[in-house]
């Protein structure tokens, strides 16, 4: 089975520009960013509620827990949010109007209903199709997240735990390797 394409920085920038130009641009942007910068699966993004992301004063938490029922493995796990994603999440929260409720899903449909994992997957497909990036899927962000961490020299064990994988071999399959990376690795010697 062919793996989802890992976007390069220019492609991700293009995807975010397409999101910005769309009718539900801020919602779509945060969905893409949660995938890329938190490594979340579409089902995890679909189940995410504001109460998990926000403190009592409505500032964005630096981390939160996914409930076991919302993960593929059926085990709860910690998710850490970097400063960029915290800032973007805060911006999105502030942009919401009367549907600002801590018990609501972070990503709402145009009818103000929760997305299912399947319908959110379809949204990602539409976004990538509009951008003209072949091979990108709802899993592209997750692969980007894992690949970026690996390329930054983060321990494989840490990446495995951030991804919520039980086996290192699963995490390794997510890492994209290209000729430039190989050349840079050899030049370290």
| Contact call for residues 46 and 168 (beta carbons, < 8 A) | no
Q: Using N-to-C axis directions, what is the helix angle for 9-21 and 117-131, rounded to 10°? A: 110
User: Between residues 59 and 101, which one has the greater pLDDT?
Assistant: 59
* 100: pLDDT strictly greater than 80: no
Average pLDDT over residues 156-168: 93
**Alpha helices by DSSP H, the chain:** 9-21, 25-38, 42-47, 50-53, 83-95, 117-131, 140-151, 156-163, 168-174, 179-187
Task: Using pLDDT thresholds of 50, 70 and 90, give the confidence band for residue 107.
Answer: very high
Q: What is the model's pLDDT at position 73?
A: 84
* 97: pLDDT strictly greater than 80: no
* pTM, entire model: 0.92
Strand pairing partners for 54? 60
Q: What is the model's pLDDT at position 1?
A: 63
pLDDT in tens, 38-86: 999 999 999 999 999 999 999 999 999 998 888 888 888 999 999 999 9
Average pLDDT over residues 22-33: 95
The neighbour count for residue 98, using CB atoms within 10 Å, is 6
Q: Positive or negative CA dihedral for 100, 104, 105, 107?
A: negative
Q: Positive or negative CA dihedral for 22, 26, 27, 29?
A: positive
Write down the mean pLDDT value for the chain.
Answer: 92
Q: Positive or negative CA dihedral for 60, 128, 126, 160?
A: negative
Task: Using pLDDT thresholds of 50, 70 and 90, give the confidence band for residue 99.
Answer: low
Q: What is the model's pLDDT at position 177?
A: 87
């Amino acid at each position: 089975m062919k793996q989802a394409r890992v976007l390069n920085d220019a492609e991700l920038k293009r995807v975010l520009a397409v999101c910005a130009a769309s009718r539900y641009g801020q919602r779509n942007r945060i969905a893409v960013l949660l995938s890329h910068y938190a490594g979340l699966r579409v089902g995890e993004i679909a189940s995410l509620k504001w109460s998990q992301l926000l403190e009592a004063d409505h500032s964005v938490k630096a981390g939160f827990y996914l409930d076991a029922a919302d993960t593929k493995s059926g085990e709860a796990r910690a998710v850490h949010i970097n400063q960029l994603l915290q800032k973007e999440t805060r911006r999105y929260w502030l942009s919401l109007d009367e549907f600002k409720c801590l018990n609501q899903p972070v990503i709402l449909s145009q009818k103000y209903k929760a997305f299912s994992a399947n319908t959110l997957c379809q949204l990602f497909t539409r976004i990538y199709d509009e951008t003209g990036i072949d091979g990108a899927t709802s899993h592209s962000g997750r692969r980007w997240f894992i690949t970026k961490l690996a390329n930054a020299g983060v321990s494989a064990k840490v990446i495995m735990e951030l991804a919520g994988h039980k086996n290192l071999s699963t995490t390794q399959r997510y890492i994209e390797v290209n000729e430039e990376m190989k050349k840079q690795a050899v030049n370290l010697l």
